């Protein structure tokens, strides 16, 4: 392949991926607006018109902002690639750092700075305008800045060593460097799953043992019935940042923790909390987490193998706006350009991932209905839809492509069919 040909292919996929996402977003907005005036019949007794319209307006505003952000992301991508942005970052970094490893880190720091300049305004609008407008934001600007500083410190403490190891392997391991990098990334990912609950998550939130003894007993009985062990039941101060509610599992093996947002505990009844937890247990009992991890590792192996093939192809660099001038590029440039371009060529995988995720959600719901009462999960979900302002009327095509969970009406109907 020639560089001009690859440039044309890249631009074609850029146009296709952007048009694909934009059309679906516009469809989604139009569909929600068209159904804003009335609550769907199946929710008429449980969701007020005011709550339904709040969810519609909230979803529309988030998607409008996302559409504008996607335009800026597109411009940034083209500026960094065909516009010569990565070449400029490389030249600036090379003027300050001569060592290969320092230069590689500097290139990634420069890329992060440029990306943050574009993304930060949208994050601020999302948090302090949209979330604030609809009554969800509890975060102060001070807390936002503290989180940002902690995030940067963690990125440096964890990301820099990983990048250095990756650079070294890419330079020293010959044609199979990508396999060694994959093995290191695999071990790193598993280690992070184990380390995160105990050492990283507490840097951002406070985790307190579940104090409600009757609820704790109910949950422990459920865990016993399901043959599940956990290192602890914790309540997280989610209300510190947002009024959204949730619950999740984290960790592997003996480090597994069950975490409830304090907002969830305050809004759901004990039987509803038990049903929500049974749904999460269903993901483990049906091995969804294991399948997801294996799938991600397999996909990463394929992606790194593909990068191993293109890394020494001059047309790859020239075609993405990085002139070689006869010299091999720094491996950091290879990584940056490859992962900048990758989403453009893989957008079509999104519907497949969403389909698999929705299948897992149905299976987890079925498991929850077998271990608890389906009606408890139904009422819990309805409360969560209402309190989190989740739209009840997503565009079917947009939902099929992007939604990891089934639409509310379909999910509730599935649970009602299992009621006893």
pLDDT of residue 42: 87
Domains of the chain: 11-202 (no CATH), 205-262 (3.30.2010.10)
Q: Which positions of the chain have pLDDT values less than 50?
A: none
Active site annotation includes 237: no
The string of pLDDT tens digits covering residues 193-209 is 888 888 888 888 888 88
pLDDT of residue 326: 65
Backbone angles phi, psi at 247, to 5 degrees: -150, 150
Active site annotation includes 365: yes
The string of pLDDT tens digits covering residues 257-311 is 788 888 888 888 999 999 999 998 999 889 998 899 999 999 999 999 999 999 9
pLDDT of residue 408: 92
> Per the residue annotation, which of 57, 272, 365, 395 is the catalytic one?
365
Does residue 384 contact residue 245 with C-beta atoms inside 8 Å? yes
Kindly report the average pLDDT of the chain as a whole number.
91
pLDDT of residue 228: 81
HEC string for the chain: CCHHHHHHHHHHHHHHHHHHHHHHHHHHHHHHHHCCCCCCHHHCCCCCHHHHHHHHHHHHHHHHHHHHHHHHHHHHHHHHCCCCHHHHHHHHHHHHCCCHHHHHHHHHHHHHHHHHHHHHHHHHHHHHHHHHHCCCECCCHHHHHHHHHHHHHHHHHHHHHHHHHHHHHHHHCHHHHHHHHHHHHHHHHHHHHHHHHHHHHHHCCCEEECCCHHHHHHHHHHHHHHCCCCCCEEEECHHHCECCCCEEEECCHHHCEEEEEHHHHHHCCHHHHHHHHHHHHHHHHCCHHHHHHHHHHHHHHHHHHHHHHHCCCHHHHHHCCCCCCCCCCCHHHHHHHHHHHHHHHHHHHHHHHHHHHHHHHHHHHHHHHHHCCHHHHHHHHHHHHHHCCCCCCCCHHHHHHHCCCCCHHHHHHHHHCCCC
Backbone angles phi, psi at 331, to 5 degrees: -60, -25
Please state, in angstroms and rounded to a whole number, the distance separating the CA atoms of residues 282 and 367. 5
pLDDT of residue 11: 97
Tell me the pTM.
0.90
> Per the residue annotation, which of 280, 361, 376, 395 is the catalytic one?
280
The string of pLDDT tens digits covering residues 128-138 is 999 999 989 98
pLDDT of residue 205: 86
pLDDT of residue 420: 61
The string of pLDDT tens digits covering residues 55-94 is 999 999 999 999 999 999 999 999 999 999 999 999 999 9
């Amino acid at each position: 392949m020639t560089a001009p040909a690859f440039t044309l292919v890249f631009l074609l996929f850029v146009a296709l991926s952007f048009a694909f996402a934009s059309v679906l977003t516009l469809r989604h907005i139009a569909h929600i607006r068209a159904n804003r005036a009335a609550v769907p019949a199946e929710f008429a007794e449980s969701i007020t018109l005011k709550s339904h319209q709040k969810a519609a307006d909230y979803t529309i505003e988030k998607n409008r902002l996302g559409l504008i952000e996607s335009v800026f992301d597109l411009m940034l991508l083209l500026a960094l690639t065909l516009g010569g942005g990565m070449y400029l970052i490389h030249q600036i970094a090379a003027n300050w750092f001569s060592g290969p490893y320092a230069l590689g880190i500097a290139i990634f720091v420069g890329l992060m700075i440029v990306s943050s300049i574009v993304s930060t305004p949208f994050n601020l609008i999302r948090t302090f305008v949209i979330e604030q407008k609809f009554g969800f934001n509890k975060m102060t600007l001070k807390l936002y800045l503290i989180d940002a500083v902690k995030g940067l410190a963690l990125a440096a403490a964890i990301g820099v060593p990983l990048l250095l190891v990756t650079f070294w392997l890419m330079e020293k391991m010959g044609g199979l460097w990508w396999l060694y990098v994959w093995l290191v990334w695999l071990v790193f990912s598993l280690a992070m799953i184990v380390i995160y609950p105990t050492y990283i998550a507490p840097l951002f939130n406070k985790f307190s043992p579940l104090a409600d003894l009757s609820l704790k007993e109910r949950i422990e009985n459920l865990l016993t019935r399901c043959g599940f062990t956990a290192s602890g039941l914790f309540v997280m101060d989610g209300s510190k940042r947002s009024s959204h509610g949730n619950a999740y599992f984290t960790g592997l093996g003996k480090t597994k923790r069950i975490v409830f947002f304090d907002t969830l505990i305050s809004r759901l009844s004990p039987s509803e909390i038990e049903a929500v937890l049974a749904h999460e247990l269903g993901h483990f009992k049906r091995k969804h987490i294991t399948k997801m991890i294996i799938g991600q590792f397999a996909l990463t192996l394929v992606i790194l193998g593909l990068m191993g093939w293109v890394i020494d192809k001059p047309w790859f660099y020239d075609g993405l706006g990085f002139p070689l001038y006869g010299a091999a590029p720094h491996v950091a440039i290879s990584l940056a350009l490859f992962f900048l371009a990758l989403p453009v060529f893989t957008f079509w995988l999104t519907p497949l991932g969403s389909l698999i995720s929705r299948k897992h959600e149905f299976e987890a719901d079925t498991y929850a209905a077998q271990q608890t009462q389906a009606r408890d999960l139904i009422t819990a979900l309805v409360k969560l839809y209402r309190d989190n302002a989740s739209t009840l009327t997503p565009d079917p095509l947009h939902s099929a492509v992007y939604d990891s969970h089934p639409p509310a009406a379909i999910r509730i109907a599935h649970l009602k069919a299992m009621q006893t």
